[in-house]
Amino acid sequence: MMRTQCLLGLRTFVAFAAKLWSFFIYLLRRQIRTVIQYQTVRYDILPLSPLSRNRLAQVKKKILVLDLDETLIHSHHDGVLRPTVRPGTPPDFILKVVIDKHPVRFFVHKRPHVDFFLEVVSQWYELVVFTASMEIYGSAVADKLDNSRSILKRRYYRQHCTLELGSYIKDLSVVHSDLSSIVILDNSPGAYRSHPDNAIPIKSWFSDPSDTALLNLLPMLDALRCSVRVYKPHFFLPFYCGVCIHVLVLLCYGVNDRFQRSNPFCEYLDL
């Protein structure tokens, strides 16, 4: 009898301890998210070395094609029963659009660090917006992101996409005939199905305030602008060796100080 009571007491204690530990982990994660959200984030743009300046002078300026929804922003509109953002989260801006003669309000949330990201990459690339959304909506979003800076002047919308099997495909040849100088940033692999070698995938964003995906791309985009072309033939083994070395360097230098300029190794790799 005493043994049974001891076992029951032990089980109760273990269950209580497990719940207490789970609650402690929950509080710890919440505190970490808060700290990450409000930490000072920066990416230092240092002066280029003479070698890098010479390299940039010899290559064409690249084109960076940007998707909108779930890549740079996330939005939901009137009538959505289960919005994908946390209730009570204020939108960065509200768009009033007339669709099929009906006024619709879109509540738009900007991905963390998107303004800084656009400010930096606009100095490195010609920026082009390419969205599968309707022009009346996509144009309004692009205007807000541009914020009168004239960095998102070229724009392509749903009518410029190709409809295949119910999904919209973005043909990059519409943007420029020379595909060796175009790279697309998009959360949807199906959108760049025709040009997978020109794509930089990025995870879909909905509401995470601690997201740093755009900042994490800056070292690679900084290096890519020095390249002769954005991709090389699949059979070219040295290219893959160079990429592997560069990725290792980014991991070594970028993880501990990922918001700093990573390294100038792109000067020595024919990426």
Q: How far apart are CA 247 and CA 233, in angstroms?
A: 19
Give whole-number Cα distances, 102 to 10, 89, 105, in Å: 64, 26, 10
Active-site residue (options: 44, 69, 186, 222): 69
Tell me the three state secondary structure of residue 45.
Answer: coil
Active-site residue (options: 67, 186, 211, 222): 67
Residue 69 known to be catalytic: yes
Give whole-number Cα distances, 239 to 63, 232, 234, in Å: 21, 7, 9
Count, in order, helices (H) and strands (E) of the chain. Answer: 6, 10
Q: What are phi and psi of 207, to 5 degrees?
A: -155, 5
Residue 171 known to be catalytic: no
Please, what's the largest Cα pairwise distance for the chain?
A: 87
**Catalytic residue positions, numbered:** 67, 69
